[in-house]
Amino acid sequence: MNRWREVLSWVLQYYQVPEKLPPKVLELCVLLYSKMQEPGAVLEVVSAWLQDSDNQDLPEYRALAELHLQRVLLPLGCLSEAEELVVGSAGFSEEQRLDVLQAISKARQQQKHQRLGSEEAQKLNQEGSFSHKFLSLLMLLRRLWDSTVSHFFSLPFKKSLLAALILCLLVVRFDPASPSSLPFLCKLSQLFHRIQEAIFSLYRLPIHD
């Protein structure tokens, strides 16, 4: 009937508390939700069952602890909980404890590498986004500069000279009424005359097919 998600809640309604679940029923629940790739659904229930002092004396305790470790804790990345279970449980032999601790250490290293890889990928994405925004800003500034220059040279000569003079007043901050400013104004006027003559000469060039 594909109603496997209701299994755990139905079982808990019957037994009321996780600690009272029969070991075989709990084992079937772990296998079911692990097979359906939702081991997190039984995490709290199995943890509560394993922590019960009465259940720790049962012969099935060791098998359920191993099943919980392999099918629930390690797939979910609950490495600290897995380490506590192995170290604090008497159901594991010394050889099994060492094997499980090695597996936990390996899983922890994999988590660290994955986290570093994710951080590096995020950093590269941020740098790429910044570079794209910076290039877009440069293109916008270039278009504004081209528009300003074209508009500036489209003005009549006297207006262009007046605009350049105002710009000098704002940037250089010199006094045009001062005698020392006269040579600079003369050179500026000569420069704009040359620019105007060069532009007119370009317009007068013959166009060859």
pTM above 0.75, yes or no: no
* pLDDT score, position 41: 92
* pLDDT score, position 27: 95
Mapping DSSP onto H, E and C, the string for the chain reads CCCHHHHHHHHHHHHCCHHHCCHHHHHHHHHHHHHCCCHHHHHHHHHHHHHCCCHHHCCCHHHHHHHHHHHHHHHHCCHHHHHHHHHHCCCCCHHHHHHHHHHHHHHHHHHHHHHHHHHHHHHHHHHHHHHHHHHHHHHHHHHHHHHHHHHHHHCCHHHHHHHHHHHHHHHCCCCCCCHHHHHHHHHHHHHHHHHHHHHHHHHCCCCCC
Q: Delimit the domains of the chain by residue range.
A: 4-92
* pLDDT score, position 8: 92
What confidence tier does 203 reach under pLDDT thresholds 50, 70, 90? low
pLDDT tens digits, one per residue of 136-188:
777 887 787 777 656 655 555 556 556 666 666 554 555 555 555 566 667 76
pLDDT tens digits, one per residue of 1-45:
888 999 999 999 989 899 999 999 999 999 999 999 999 999 999
